[in-house]
Structure 1
């Protein structure tokens, strides 16, 4: 398994390419991501969104059209893909599969689970592939995602932190912004946030 990452756009949003058995999975193709993606993939099979914020889905449709692949997005965030709620001129995209909370899918023999952690957005999810967790804007190195945006919910963020604190297995965490970390390394930070929300 090979993981490539490139920060995209003004918000330096991480776009990931996960390659397993010569199959490329693209996670969160942000602003102007196609050029970098095109230079790194040989056999793209899907686009996965952790959530619907513009800086994570900006290039969804462009990448989908170039490679004729499907978009998988959490169903509760689908409205953001189609409506450009922040009015920033984001190209709209159409998800092919709306993922239900905590749904597990299989793509060409690769098992993928969308763990639902709402709070930052209604559908915010961490995408698990093997022992790797692509957390979008739920968990970062040393902090968590904001929960004061339109459609954010502090109460749900607290519940999501409670949920992941019950996990006993460690994971490599690849966040939507900044450097990678591990779940074990973030436990104390998560506990502090849980107490203060």
Structure 2
């Protein structure tokens, strides 16, 4: 597996290309992601969203139409794909597949699981591919995603933290912003947050 990352837009939102057996999976195509993806995604097969915030979904429609591939979005965040809450001119996008909480999919032989961790948004998910977890805005290196936005929920965030703290396996974590980390490294921080929410 090869993983490429490029921060996009003012919020430096990480867009990922995950390449397995010559097939590219695109995760969270943010602002102006298409030009980078056209250079580095040689055989894209799907676009995945970790959640519906504008800085993660901005280029959804342009990417799926350019490459002729399907868009997979957590169903509880579908409503965000056509909202432009800050009046920034976000292009609307339309999911081809609405992913249920904790659903496991197989796309061209690649197993993908959307672990549902609501709190930051209703549909917020961490996407697992093998031992790699693309955590969106749920977990960052040293902290967690905000839960004071419209459509955020502190109690759901607390429940999501409790859920991942039950996991026994370690994972490489690739967050929506900032540097990669591991679940094991983040456990102390997650425990502190879970206690204080």
With the length of structure 1 as denominator, give the TM-score of the two structures. 0.99
Tell me what 2:94 maps to: 94
5 Å matches for 1:167-178?
A: 167-178=167-178
Tell whether 2:80 aligns with 1:80: yes
CA distance in 2, matches of 1:151, 1:38: 33
The Cα offsets for residues 113-168 of structure 1, whole Å up to 9 and x where unpaired, read as: 00000000000000000000000000000000000000000000000000000000
RMSD of the alignment, in Å? 0.5
5 Å matches for 1:7-156?
A: 7-156=7-156
Tell me what 2:188 maps to: 188
Write out the 4+ residue segments of structure 1 that deviate beyond 4 Å after TM superposition: none
Tell whether 2:3 aligns with 1:3: yes
Q: What residue ranges of structure 1 are gaps of 5+ in the alignment?
A: none
Give 1:87 deviation, angstroms.
2.5
Tell me what 2:160 maps to: 160
SS of structure 2 residue aligned to 1:91: coil
With the length of structure 2 as denominator, give the TM-score of the two structures. 0.99
